[in-house]
Amino acid sequence: MRLSRYFLPVLKEDPAEAAIVSHRYMLRAGMIKQASAGIYSWLPLGFKILRKIENIVHEEQQKAGHMPMLMPTIQSADLWRESGRYEDYGDEMLRIQDRHGRDMLYGPTNEEQITDTFRAHVNSYKDLPLTLYQIQWKFRDERRPRFGVMRGREFFMKDGYNFDLTKEDALHAYNRHLVTYLRTYERLGLQAIPMRADGGPIGGDYTHEFLVLAETGESEVFYDSEVTDIKLGNRDVDFDDKAQCQEILEEFTTRYARTDETHDEAIFADVPEERRRSARGIEVGQIFYFGTKYSESMNATVIDENQKLVPVHMGSHGIGVSRLLGAIIEASHDDKGIIWPEGVTPFHCGIVNLKQGDDEADAACEGIYSALTKAGLEPLYDDRKERAGGKFATMDLIGLPWRITVGPRGLKNGVVELTSRRTGESEEMSPEAAIAKVVEIYANL
């Protein structure tokens, strides 16, 4: 992409309404535009990152055998009356009437809708286990939408639902989700710690939230500092192996880590004092096992091996996909702007031409641009007739992890400059060497 043709409405000034850094940078970098309180348009740069995160979420779900589908955003109130949640959900639910006076709602989550799909098509234990998921917009009429995409009213969520014959199988589905979530967050360059939490309006008392530690987080959390040393890494996981998934769950959840909803001072006191931490965190996901809560009220039953009709065991599992953009920025930025991890960066490498219009500099930039493109990467070439300072400021703000700077002076010596956004370190090398290095960085991801 050439910046001269891209829609990147960068703001020079800090927007007054943005109280935290991620919101400020998302507005300044032209990623989002507020449409109304807690509701945003996603401009090309923001949309590109949203799609990248979405793709990583899809990949990790499908590795575990979970099947993507898509449900509507507008749901019938009658389904929610069956489960009893139509009244229970309260003011967060956006209630709508259609032209025939029928009660509808904009889905804040989809347990009822998926249970209705399940009961229409599945009757036998032979069709289990089954895990379906979607990535779809949700609406919750939050009392205090704030911090941009962090607490939106309209937001993008991955929501997955498992259907199992037994509690044991459903807990295996829970463990599978825990493992896929850990992997997903690690690929996004985040450490998200699973913590015991509260079921809230979804229900169930067995639930973990995934928290990214950040001062601006909305949740108060308490944990044993040892939990921050554990990584999933690239270990091989067999998602059919119940014992292995259970072991991973235990590895990540045995040490004390709880949100304030379930925090227990007496148990926390058993953690050695030097490892006791309290901090703030951003909730980027939550997994639930709630047994037969929905299947009983909505008659989602199957015939078991003994020809007996039994309600299925269920859980639901959510990732805040749009919130993740904010969480990544909170975890990865400096005073000049965003620093995208390589796994989600909107463009792989920036190319800055210090003297647009200089034949040699233009030709070198074009050469780098086409070589990176041919290697399957997406560079962003700042080909505007701007001053170098302005070009650097834009690149730093939008946070591409790598930048190649090309100018007539360097070219005289046969070199360009390759700069890491994270460390700020620059290295001079031939254009070919810079291209090869960038290609190698992404090949190793």
Segment 323-352, which members bind ligand 5CA (CB under 6 A)? 323
**Of the two residues 317 and 391, which places its CB atom closer to ligand 5CA in the complex?**
317
**Of the two residues 201 and 376, which places its CB atom closer to ligand 5CA in the complex?**
201
Q: Which stretch binds ligand 5CA (CB under 6 A): 68-76, 147-155, 182-190, 421-429?
A: 147-155
Binding of ligand 5CA at residue 157 (CB under 6 A)? yes
Binding of ligand 5CA at residue 46 (CB under 6 A)? no
The H-or-E segment that residue 85 falls in is helix 85-88
Binding of ligand 5CA at residue 142 (CB under 6 A)? yes
Binding of ligand 5CA at residue 23 (CB under 6 A)? no
Binding of ligand 5CA at residue 316 (CB under 6 A)? yes
> Which neighbouring-strand residues pair with 309?
303
Radius of gyration of the chain (CA): 24
| Closest distance to ligand 5CA from the beta carbon of 301 (Å) | 21
Binding of ligand 5CA at residue 155 (CB under 6 A)? yes
| Closest distance to ligand 5CA from the beta carbon of 134 (Å) | 9
The DSSP-derived string for 387-408 is: -HHHHHHHHHHHT-SEEEEE-H
Among 24, 28, 66, 151, binds ligand 5CA (CB under 6 A): 151
End-to-end CA distance of the chain: 22
**Of the two residues 286 and 405, which places its CB atom closer to ligand 5CA in the complex?**
286
Binding mask 353-392 for ligand 5CA (x = CB under 6 A): ----------------------------------------
Do 25 and 333 touch, CB atoms closer than 8 A?
yes
> Which neighbouring-strand residues pair with 158?
135, 319
**Of the two residues 321 and 354, which places its CB atom closer to ligand 5CA in the complex?**
321
Binding of ligand 5CA at residue 320 (CB under 6 A)? yes
Segment 406-445, which members bind ligand 5CA (CB under 6 A)? none
Closest-CA residue to 293 (of 52, 71, 111): 111
Rounded CA-CA distance 189/92 in Å is 32
Segment 94-113, which members bind ligand 5CA (CB under 6 A)? 109, 111
**Of the two residues 2 and 280, which places its CB atom closer to ligand 5CA in the complex?**
280
The DSSP-derived string for 341-387 is: -TTT-SSSEEEEETTTT-HHHHHHHHHHHHHHHHTT--EEEE-SS--
The DSSP-derived string for 290-347 is: EETHHHHHTT-EEE-TTS-EEEPEEEEEEEEHHHHHHHHHHHSEETTEE---TTT-SS
Rounded CA-CA distance 276/266 in Å is 13
Do 107 and 75 touch, CB atoms closer than 8 A?
yes
Q: Which stretch binds ligand 5CA (CB under 6 A): 117-125, 151-159, 181-189, 430-438?
A: 151-159
Pure H helices in 104-203: 111-121, 167-187
Name the residues that contact ligand 5CA, by CB under 6 A: 109, 111, 140, 142, 151-152, 155, 157, 159, 202, 283-286, 316-318, 320, 322-323
